[in-house]
Amino acid sequence: MKLSYALVCLSFAALTGCGGGSDVQQPAPTPAVASELAKHALATKPAGAVSVLDARKTGAADVATVTGRIANLVPGLAVFTLMDTSLPYCGETNKDDGCKTPWDYCCESKDTRTANSLLVEVRDGAGKPIAGSSSDLRLLDAVTVVGKLTKDEHGNHVLLATGWHRDARPELPADVRWPN
């Protein structure tokens, strides 16, 4: 659990600054890791998904299906932050706000970002996050994730993903460059 707690802190730290991470490039996964992660991509959207907020309210569950937007990808690991879709990303509702990094939700307070987010990890058989990243996912993708929802002794929720489906990919203004 110490590793998960560290990843939660790292993930939330990445969400605290406006404009951060715009030059971050995801490392290419090795063929073995890419093959392992490809197994988690689901061909169809799972039914019965709940929002990030509802999943956090419900708490730990052996099987959970949660929908949200990717707000952060942890470089080098199959770990990402899922943000509740009720919280608009920067520029989603106001296209003229000029935000160059809408995926960091910097137009919201740190407390709001934390309350609306959930850490998602893909772990190996030993329970450690898989090194690598899923090249089919990118920031702000709307996804539905299936897995086991845990809550640690610090109150942090982590969804241990067994699969995900990319539901949608938003279009951003032409002057915004995707970081990955």
Complete domains list, the chain, with CATH: 2-17+29-168 (2.40.50.200)
pLDDT at 49: 97
pLDDT at 134: 66
User: 168 pairs with which residues across the strands?
Assistant: 142
**Residue 96 reports pLDDT greater than 60:** yes
Question: What's the distance, CA 147 to chain centroid?
Answer: 13
The SS3 call for residue 116 is coil
In terms of pLDDT, which residue wins out, 11 or 47?
47
Q: With the CA atoms of 140, 145, 148 and 151 taken in that order, what torsion angle do they form, in degrees rounded to the nearest 10?
A: 20
In terms of pLDDT, which residue wins out, 99 or 18?
99
In terms of pLDDT, which residue wins out, 27 or 129?
129
Q: What is the mean pLDDT of residues 149-178?
A: 88
pTM across the whole model: 0.79
User: Cβ distance 1 to 121 under 8 Å?
Assistant: no
Q: What is the pLDDT of residues 50-86, one digit of tens each?
A: 999 999 999 899 999 999 999 999 988 889 999 999 9
Q: Can you list the pairs that 106-111 forms with residues at least 24 positions away whose Cβ atoms lie under 8 Å? A: 106/17, 106/18, 106/19, 107/18, 110/12, 110/15, 110/16
